[in-house]
Chains A and B, each alone.
Chain A
Amino acid sequence: MQNSETAAVDHGLDRAALAKMLRQILPAEAVLFEEEDLRPYECDGLTAYRKLPLVAVLPDTLEQVRAVMRLCYEKNVPVVARGAGTGLSGGALPLENGVLLSLAKFNRILEVDAVARTARVQPGVRNLAISESVSHLDLYYAPDPSSQIACSIGGNVAENAGGLHCLKYGLTVHNIIELKMVTVEGELIVIGGRGLDSPGYDLLALMTGSEGMLGVIVEVTVKLLPKPECARLTLAAFDDVEKAGAAVGRIIADGIIPAGLEMMDNAAIRATDDFVQAGYPTDAVAILLCELDGTEQEVGDQLQQVRALLDDCGATEVRVARDEDERARFWAGRKAAFPAAGRLSPDYYCMDGTIPRRELPNVLAGMGAMSKEYGLPIMNVFHAGDGNLHPLILYDANVPGEIERVEELGSKILQLCIDAGGTITGEHGVGIEKINQMCVQFKSPELLQFHAVKHAFDEHELLNPGKAVPTLNRCAEFGAMHVHEGKLPFPDIERF
C-alpha cells in the first residue's frame, strides 16, 4: 500500500536530541524513544500502514501537553495525536520525523451534571465508560461506534464517530457541546460552551471530524440523553436485496425513524451466525434489523406499523425479539460482523462509503461484479438507515500481490460510491488510507480551501501533516485530477 508523505518539514533534530529536550519538560518515563517502546505506536486500527515515530510522549497534565506543543512549534517538529489507536483510516499513523502524542493517560471523567445532562471528560476516556458511569442516573451517551469498548472520546471527536443509532440520535457532532483544545502554538482555548450554542463561527463542528489537523483535544463535554423507556428489535428476512432496500425506504417514508436500522447480506448472515449463533435465518439473501425505542406506547404504536410494512414489502419472515435475551442475541450477530470476517479469512479490509439509499441495489450489484472480477469475496454490513456501507473484502496478506489488488478493488468501490452521489467515508475518516480518493471526491479549489482552513489554525503544517487532505501534487500523481473541458485546473504544477 502506498506510504504517507513524510512531512516536508526538516527540523534537523535526531531521535536522541529530541528525546533529551522532551525529557526536560516531561517525566523520564513519559518519553519513549527505544525501538521496542515505540513499536506499540507504529500503527492504529489500520495495520497495513506502519511507521515508528521519532519519539512518543505520554503526558498526563494539561501543562505538559502545552509544553510539548510549545517545544514542537518552536523546533518545527510535526505532532500526531493519538487516542486509543482504534481508528480504521490510519489517522494516527506516526511520522518518522515527528512526535507521537498519546493522550492515553487523560482517562478521567471530570464531572457529571445530572441536572444539565452533561459529562465533562478527558479525551482518553473510553466511549462506553461514559454511558456506564451515568447508567445509574438513567442517562447515556448516544453515539455507539462498534469499537465503543475500546475507542476513546477524543478520537471519536477527531473522527466524528457514528454508530448503530445515529439515524435517530446523530453523530458525535450532534452530541458534544464543549471542547478544550491546545493549539499548535501551545495555547489552551475553549470551543463551544455549556449552553446550546456559542458566539461566532461553529468551530465545534469544524473541529469534529478534523482528524487531528487543527488542534489537540484535551477535554470534551458531552450531552447525555435519558435512556429510552423501552426498545424492541424486529428482524426481517428477504429473498432479494432490492426488496430489503425498498422496505427501508418505506419505513422511513411512512414517518418512522427507527433507533437502529441495519442490513446484512447473506455472506455476513452466515459468517456471524456461525460465529455467535445469533439465530439468523441463514438462507435469507438479506436481513434487516429494525430497532424502535421510546415510551411503551410509542414503540407499541410503531411496531404494528413496521410489521405491516415489512409484510407488504415481501419479507419472507418477520420476527420481533421476544425478550431482552433475544434482542441482545440479534444485535450480537451484527456487532460481531468484523470479527466474524476475521474468522473466515486471514485478513479483511473494511470500507466505509456512504450512498443515497435508493442507489443500494446498483451499488451492491456493481460490487458483486467487481468481487468476481478480482476473485476476492466481499461480505456486506450496512447502516441501512443512513446509507453507510461497510463492505468487508476478504483476503490473505501472505499471498504476494493480493494486498495491492485489494487496494485497487477498494478504490473502485469508493469510486462507485462517489458516482452514486455518495462519499468515500461516512464515519471512519480519510486519514492516510483514503487520501487519494479525496482527489476524486473534491476538485482542486475545494482541496485548496481545505488547506486554507488548516492554515488558519496551523500555518506551518505541524499537526498530523500529510493526512486527511491531499496536496494537489499528490492528486496529480494519483492521476485522478478532475479534468474540466479538457483542461487541467493547474497546468503549471509539476506532475511526475
Chain B
Amino acid sequence: MTDNADISADLKTRVESAIADRTPLAIVAGGTKQFMGRMIQAEDFDVSEHRGVISYEASELVLTARAGTPLSSVEATLAEKGQMLPFEPPYFGHGATLGGTVACGLSGPRRPYAGAVRDFVLGVTLINGKAEVLRFGGEVMKNVAGYDVSRLVTGALGTLGLMLDVSLKVLPVPAEDLTLTFDMDFAEAIQQMNRWAARPIPISGACHDGEQLRLRLSGTAGGVNTAAERLGGERQNGEDFWRDLRELQLRFFDGDDPLWRLSVPPTTPPLALPGRTLVDWGGALRWLKSDADGDSIRSVVSTAGGHATLFKGGDRTGQVFHPLPAKLLDIHRRLKRAFDPDRIFNPGKMYEGV
C-alpha cells in the first residue's frame, strides 16, 4: 500500500454501482471506530487506500489530506513544523484515519479550551449519494460562501456522503505543557474547574478521575510557570495521563459495563446515576460506566440540560444517540434525503431513517 494515492475515480465508480443496485455501504478505513453508532446492515466499503497529504503550508496554518490518511502520519507531518491538530483527537487504535476522525467528530481533552474538530474544519470534498464529487468550504480561514456543509458533515458518521479529503486549520504546538494535581472531591472539582475557566489562565485540560483534579496548562514557558505558581497544586509529568484519558485507556474505563458519554453544561453538579463517573472537559463531559437502563440515564441527563450517548458496548440496535424532538428528527431525515436520497451511505448509523 502506498502512502499517497488518489483513488477517487474508483470510489466514485463503486458508489455509482451501489446506487444502481441499491446496495447500502458501510464506510470503513482503519476500522478503529466501528464500535460507535448504531449497528447497521450494509456492505463494507473500504476507503483506506485513498490517502496522502495533499497540501500543507505551516505559515498558512492549513493542511489538506485525503480521508484515508493515517492520523499518525498527519500528526507527524505537522509535528515536523512544530504544529498540531488543536482538538487533540483520540485514535482508538493503530489504524485511525483523518476521515474517520472527522466523520466521527471526535475531540480530546483540549476541546473546551481550543475547540472541537468541527471548529477547525475549513473545507471538504464529498461524494454525495448521487455519486457527485462536490467541494465545499476551502483552504482559507474565513469563508461564508454557501451553507457550511463542511461542518455539517463533520460528526455526521458518514451518513451524508463519503468524504474524499478535508482541509483543516492547524495551530502551533505550545512551547510548554505542565500538569498540576489537586486533592479535592468531585463536586468541589467541578466548581473549581469552572472558576478557573473564567479567569485568564492558559488551561488546556481539566479532569477529575474520581480521585484527584488534574489541570494541564499550555503556553509559553513564562506564562505556564507563572500560572502554576499562582494556582499551587502538585506538579506532575502528565503526558501519559492525558494520552490515556484521550484514548479511554485509564483504569477507569476497564470492565464490561457499557460506557456512556454524557455531554452536559459544565457547571452541572454530580449526577445521581448508578455506576462510576469520570469528569473531563472542565465539567462539560462525564464518562459513565454503568449498566443502568438507557431511558433512566437519558432522563437524568436531559433534566440537567445535556445529552447521553451509549458510546461503547450495550445494545447497539436501538437508540444509541440521544433521541431528537420530532421536528428536529424530521429535519435530519430531510437532510439525509437531500444528500443521499437512495440511502446508500451508512443508513441508520446515527438514527433510524438517518
Contacts and interface: CB of A to CB of B under 8 A. Distances in A.
Contacts of A253: 58-59, 81
Contact of A423 (B119, B143, B194, B198): B143
Contacts of B198: 114-115, 117, 137-139, 226
Nearest to B282: A196
Interface in A330-385: 354-358, 383, 385
Contacts of B307: 193, 195, 198-199
Interface in A445-487: 445-446, 449-450, 452-457, 468-469
A453 B147 contact: yes
A193 B284 CA distance: 11
A196 B324 contact: no
A354 B143 contact: yes
Interface in B121-173: 128, 130, 132, 134-136, 138-149, 151-152, 154-156, 160, 171-173
Interface stretch (B204-212, B236-244, B325-333): B325-333
Residue in A191, A250, A298, A301 whose Cβ sees the most chain B Cβ within 10 Å = A298
A173 interface: yes
B68 interface: no
Nearest to A118: B265
A252 B151 contact: no
Interface in A248-304: 249-250, 252-257, 294-298, 300-302
B185 interface: no
Given A187-B327, A201-B332, A452-B339, A386 B144 contact: no
Contacts of B332: 200-201
A170 interface: yes
A78 to B, nearest CB: 19
Contact of B200 (A193, A229, A300, A452): A229
B142 A386 contact: yes
Interface in A423-446: 423-430, 434, 438, 441-443, 445-446
B200 A387 contact: no
B250 interface: no
Q: Which of A113, A138, A354, A468 has the most B CB atoms < 10 Å from its CB? A: A354
A27 interface: no
Nearest to B174: A255
Given A226-B199, A386-B141, A200 B351 contact: yes
B93 interface: no
Contact of A257 (B172, B194, B199, B351): B172
Interface string B241-255: 000000000000000
A384 to B, nearest CB: 11
Contacts of B105: 197, 202
Interface residues of A, number: 97
B142 A426 contact: yes
A187 B281 CA distance: 33
Given A226-B198, A456-B335, A199 B322 contact: yes
A203 B350 CA distance: 15
B330 to A, nearest CB: 9
A445 B146 CA distance: 13
A208 interface: yes
Contacts of A425: 143-145
A443 B125 CA distance: 13
B147 A209 contact: yes
B21 interface: no
A385 B61 CA distance: 10
A113 B172 contact: no
Contact of B223 (A117, A206, A297, A449): A297
A334 B337 CA distance: 46
A210 B225 CA distance: 43
A300 B222 contact: yes
Contact of B221 (A213, A229, A301): A301
Contact of A294 (B173, B223, B225, B309): B223
A430 B285 contact: no
Contacts of A152: none
B173 A116 contact: no
Interface in A119-153: 137-139
B62 interface: yes
A255 B226 CA distance: 20
A196 B281 contact: yes
Shortest Cβ-Cβ A-B pairs, 9 listed: A297-B222, A298-B223, A205-B151, A249-B59, A255-B172, A426-B142, A456-B334, A452-B338, A386-B141
10 contacts: A116-B266, A196-B284, A209-B144, A253-B58, A253-B59, A356-B139, A421-B139, A446-B135, A449-B339, A469-B147
Interface of B: 57-62, 81-82, 105, 111-112, 115-116, 118-119, 128, 130, 132, 134-136, 138-149, 151-152, 154-156, 160, 171-173, 175, 191, 194-195, 197-202, 219-223, 225-227, 263-267, 281, 284-285, 305-307, 309, 321-322, 324-325, 327-328, 331-332, 334-335, 337-339, 350-351, 354
Given A117-B198, A174-B119, 9 more contacts: A173-B119, A189-B328, A189-B331, A198-B263, A200-B351, A226-B197, A255-B175, A456-B337, A469-B147
